Amino acid sequence: MSVIRPEAATVLARWSEAMIGAAVCALGLYWALFTGGGLLHWIGYFIAVLGAFLCASGIRRARFPQGDDGPGIVQINERQISYFAPEGGGIVSVDTLWRVTLDVRLRQQVVWTFVGEDGVLSIPVDAAGTDKIFDMLSALPGADFEEVTRAMSATEPHSYVIWRKPAVQSSVATLH
């Protein structure tokens, strides 16, 4: 018998990185402000900054859509996104991506769409393993994580561009 309800344990696990970052930042601030100088004082400032970055990263990751009860499994291996589902699925290479969007469809269904030279791959946000997409997007320069938050709170069908290859972005800008 567990002391913590399963729903609460899930929330705590989701926000654990942010909470650890806040604790590290608090420890660093304590050392920096209340040790009275010396080497520990300066190490405290350094630890506080590291804790703040960890906390910010944890908040961003916690706000990222995650799920495990949807259809299919997502795997990211060797810069390749694989989606295996009962109906559909596919593989796309991160190196050949042109665009990543988060599409809000009818009936509140939200789907990741990866467009690249290999084709188009659509993955529901509640598929198992979608939390790994955050790490993959972090490696793409210019990924818009605030757009992910806007997409997850949307009520109308719309497509939100999370990342676009810079060469594709500049060519699209010159067409209009």
Are residue 39 and residue 80 in the same domain, yes or no? no
Q: Tally the domains of the chain.
A: 2
Tell me, yes or no, whether 25 lies in a domain.
Answer: yes
Tell me, yes or no, whether 95 lies in a domain.
Answer: yes
Q: How would you write the pLDDT of the chain (176 residues) with one tens digit per residue?
A: 678 898 888 888 889 999 999 999 999 999 999 988 889 999 999 999 999 999 998 888 887 766 667 788 999 998 899 999 888 889 999 999 999 998 888 766 788 899 999 889 999 888 888 888 888 888 888 888 888 878 877 778 888 999 998 875 555 444 44
What CATH number is given to the structural domain containing 152?
Answer: 2.30.29
State residue 175's pLDDT score: 43
Are residue 33 and residue 59 in the same domain, yes or no? yes
Distances (CA, A) of 112 to 36, 98, 138, 173: 51, 14, 15, 23
Reduced to 3 states, what is the DSSP secondary structure of residue 127?
A: coil
Among candidate residues 17, 39, 63, the one where a domain is terminated:
63
Are residue 56 and residue 79 in the same domain, yes or no? no
3-class SS string, 108-158: HCEEEEEEECCEEEEEECCCECCCHHHHHHHCCCCCCHHHHHHHHCCCCCE
pTM, two decimals, is 0.70
Tell me, yes or no, whether 12 lies in a domain.
Answer: yes
Are residue 92 and residue 38 in the same domain, yes or no? no
The 10 Å Cβ neighbour count of residue 135 is 11
Are residue 77 and residue 53 in the same domain, yes or no? no
Tell me, yes or no, whether 131 lies in a domain.
Answer: yes
State residue 168's pLDDT score: 59
Residues making up the chain, counted from first to last: 176
Are residue 91 and residue 135 in the same domain, yes or no? yes
Are residue 79 and residue 157 in the same domain, yes or no? yes
Given CA atoms 62, 68, 71, 72 in this order, what sign does their dihedral have? positive
Are residue 105 and residue 24 in the same domain, yes or no? no
Given CA atoms 42, 45, 50, 54 in this order, what sign does their dihedral have? positive
Full domain range(s) for residue 114: 73-175
State residue 126's pLDDT score: 85
Are residue 90 and residue 127 in the same domain, yes or no? yes
Are residue 19 and residue 87 in the same domain, yes or no? no
Are residue 46 and residue 98 in the same domain, yes or no? no
Tell me, yes or no, whether 13 lies in a domain.
Answer: yes
Q: How far apart are the first and last CA of the chain?
A: 62
State residue 62's pLDDT score: 82
Are residue 163 and residue 88 in the same domain, yes or no? yes
Tell me, yes or no, whether 68 lies in a domain.
Answer: no
- How far does CA 55 lie from the centroid of its chain? 14
Which residues, in sequence order, are CB contacts of 147 under 8 Å at separation 6+? 102, 160, 161, 162
